[in-house]
Structure 1
């Protein structure tokens, strides 16, 4: 049993365990950010979404400026300026609720794509009508042949109960009023 099975069983338990934990939690990918919650699906990702207001990690990495603001926030908030409060918020979140809900013009691209698809389908139909479909038969394009076909349908009494010839008066040879 010195084949591939033996090679699979030779591993370092500590390296496998570290790789499994790092793969599950993605700690190696978040950098120097604080983990502050469970998030959208339990992974360490940042997502701005109205339905999930608390992301798993902070938006920005911890810098000396941000860490100084975090120490200052532990004290009295009345001593902090509005700019410092905004900087502290922007270190944790990328957008406010009003910024997330603001219209972004996405409807324009959707409408443009829809109209483009309608135009493309129209041109495909016109191409098929010219190059693929055969010409219309004389029974549809020629008025004399259409009237002759109608007369023949009346003569052989096509669908006399509720169809075309149900409106024909056979005694007076005219349409019923």
Structure 2
């Protein structure tokens, strides 16, 4: 029992000594700093100048909830032209009510007219309300990699995406559609 206490205290004593001597070292360095300042050496102030690469925080815009809705070409044919369509329970193409639950959400359908994006997969990155009448939709463009779940992207068909949005969230809005690189996309 005594040997156990000696062993325990024997381990604690060096730890306590290390802690106490470390504190003394910090105090001695602080004293040296004070002596240097008293001797006339001034600390160089950090100037308030711009640091290269530093950025200000961006203001937050009103974001709209969304989720990409997977739809195969065979289920809903492409539109005859590029465009932006807002589908809800009252306004939608005939057979789309079989694919979408308009009681729970609305659908934003974007089909690009840019031929350079034929055969591409579109993924939504964000939907941002700019003001009372305008919404920015940011998309990523990916070339079809040939996976089965991406059968929709055919080189002969325009890129398109169906996006679920909160009911009524975008009704009556105008849309700016652009890539994540800031490139404006043509839907006309």
Structure-1-length-normalised TM-score? 0.17
> Normalising by structure 2, what TM-score?
0.17
- Normalized per residue, the structure richer in helix is 1
Would you tell me which structure has more strand in proportion to its own residues? 2
- Give 1 or 2 for the bigger CA radius of gyration: 1
